[in-house]
Structure 1
């Protein structure tokens, strides 16, 4: 077995070998709804030895190690395998990417897949005092444990972390990132910081993002899930785009990007499961968002987690069918 060529410096797609492994982490909540099951994607090297053949476990590629860590938080009732292609693309550009499934309480006593949301932390009397996602510190602890365990011992850079998310996962990332000093970049697809009126906020309120690092926001023009959720925020479907409002109103001064993909929908970076979540609300997928947004995200992360001059230059001139706004 041979090893494919390594990814380009700027984070372009490659034939780099990516493998994954499983882990678990205790989170908040009562058993049995207190466990996250993690999948960790990482650049690997094939030795062809008997242990590899019999176990399926591959050692991490020492090139470019230790690898910065990307925690990817899913939307509600969206399984982590829905993000396998996106996570693999990021790993190919030199990152260890962590996804997870966590079944816990949603709203009104329902149970389902959730990134974990502390609703009390999102109310007017508490917002900005603590993370709205208590799962994040549990994930960071799990990654630290993995870095002490074979085969990933010493292969993870715990001081260079990115938080990413889709839909609700992106929202809690935007509401939580600044509370974790190792987080150096944030990205989200189909996510905003507009807050539900049921939590005590006025209609149309966009909360300030809790970030102190560069942010990349992505959205498709056919996002039917965001459009179909307008009444949660006391608005109609003809309101201004909440993602664009978040970019303009919620972020502090910094090196931020907004990427709009014409014709893409809410599940543009994921493989939607028609039996779960709210994909039935979504608009048509008239354009591919996964490939160009993965390339853009890879450049963004290599710029801000690896301080790559080449990636920064390519990011400045990026043009792959996306409409980019910078601030």
Structure 2
């Protein structure tokens, strides 16, 4: 299946210029070729929509490989670019983090993804005008992301915050609470725990390992807060929540190509497995997860469950609850 994309721009309400603009790239399966803008697959009914939230200072282009792979599965995928000053004096490419919703006593009462309302309004507009008009299944929106973007995706996946969201996934993300906000060291904050969820991490995640001071602890392993999030932040018992730890993957194994011009305040560890193979496995499992728990495809669920017990040198741990 061929994939096409187009661009959109949107204004974020209640944000002062010049930081009130979001630029979107919308990926979709194409029908025809050799045109600058072509209609989406006419035979399809409607497409579920994946919104990908980037990590801080991570440009959306480094997730294009994943957006294309997911669109090849018959999904519409949105990446976006938002340069903002979420923290006073710190201008960065941001997934949009509502810091006020992370505070003690407030957390859990609303979405932490501050870009989400603007993105949803843009999707509603695309449903009534343009080449995707009438082709978006806006009752099946999946939130996904990387690092801080993954965190806001899984924290915001609550039908009480947005009834259209039906599932969520994250790579290199957890819900450990920052001690600077007033939380006790080592606290893992709860997730909405009402929708299918897939947490993915890498055994060589140096960014998580080297940022543990933010949470008042020293993690035993780079994957400790991700595993604890799976164990403590969700109750499970529906068999639709998954934890996947990739052997040899680092914090940026979900990106390609990595942008070496952006300095990182926390160093990563080198990946120890072929990164193209890691990316292929990430895309494969995400596709199965969405097909199984959003599209209700029995064969996908069977294949996903089989991967829970299949020996794979790239999988250090795969659990479900």
> What's the TM-score once normalised by structure 2's chain length?
0.91
Superposed CA deviations along residues 290-318 of structure 1, whole A, max 9, x for unmatched, are 11011000010111221111111111112
- The CA distance in 2 between the partners of 1:34 and 1:103, in whole Å, is 8
- Where 1:36 maps in the other structure, the secondary structure is strand
Partner of 2:191: 209
Please state if 1:250 is matched with 2:233: yes
Please state if 1:326 is matched with 2:320: yes
- The CA distance in 1 between the partners of 2:219 and 2:138, in whole Å, is 42
Out of 288, 307, 313, the residue aligned to residue 299 of structure 1 is: 288
Partner of 1:144: 124
Please state if 1:308 is matched with 2:297: yes
Please state if 1:112 is matched with 2:106: no
Please state if 1:90 is matched with 2:79: no
Q: Give the root-mean-square deviation of aligned CA atoms.
A: 1.5
- The CA distance in 1 between the partners of 2:17 and 2:120, in whole Å, is 20
| Count of aligned pairs between the two proteins | 306
Partner of 2:2: 17
- The CA distance in 1 between the partners of 2:155 and 2:245, in whole Å, is 21
Show structure 1 runs of 5+ residues with no match: 1-15
Flag the 1:279–1:315 CA change in 2: closer, same or farther, 3 A. farther
Partner of 2:12: 27
- The CA distance in 1 between the partners of 2:4 and 2:191, in whole Å, is 34
Partner of 2:306: 317
Please state if 1:265 is matched with 2:245: no
Larger RCO of the pair (alpha carbons < 8 Å, separation 6+): 1
More divergent stretch after superposition (233-242 vs 167-176): 233-242
CA contact (8 A) 1:174 1:211 kept: no
- Where 2:201 maps in the other structure, the secondary structure is strand
- The CA distance in 2 between the partners of 1:173 and 1:42, in whole Å, is 21
Superposed CA deviations along residues 129-177 of structure 1, whole A, max 9, x for unmatched, are 1111221121111111111122111111100110001000011112211
Report the Cα offset of residue 235 of structure 1.
1.0
Report the Cα offset of residue 279 of structure 1.
8.2
Partner of 2:209: 227
- The CA distance in 1 between the partners of 2:58 and 2:73, in whole Å, is 24
- The CA distance in 1 between the partners of 2:263 and 2:199, in whole Å, is 22
CA contact (8 A) 2:210 2:266 kept: no
Show structure 2 runs of 5+ residues with no match: none
- The CA distance in 2 between the partners of 1:93 and 1:156, in whole Å, is 15
- The CA distance in 1 between the partners of 2:27 and 2:101, in whole Å, is 31
Report the Cα offset of residue 87 of structure 1.
1.0
- The CA distance in 1 between the partners of 2:31 and 2:202, in whole Å, is 36
Report the Cα offset of residue 45 of structure 1.
1.1
CA contact (8 A) 2:211 2:266 kept: no
Report the Cα offset of residue 226 of structure 1.
0.5
Superposed CA deviations along residues 115-139 of structure 1, whole A, max 9, x for unmatched, are 1111111011211111112211211
CA contact (8 A) 2:48 2:76 kept: yes
Please state if 1:154 is matched with 2:134: yes
- Where 1:45 maps in the other structure, the secondary structure is coil
Flag the 1:59–1:279 CA change in 2: closer, same or farther, 3 A. farther
- The CA distance in 2 between the partners of 1:35 and 1:301, in whole Å, is 30
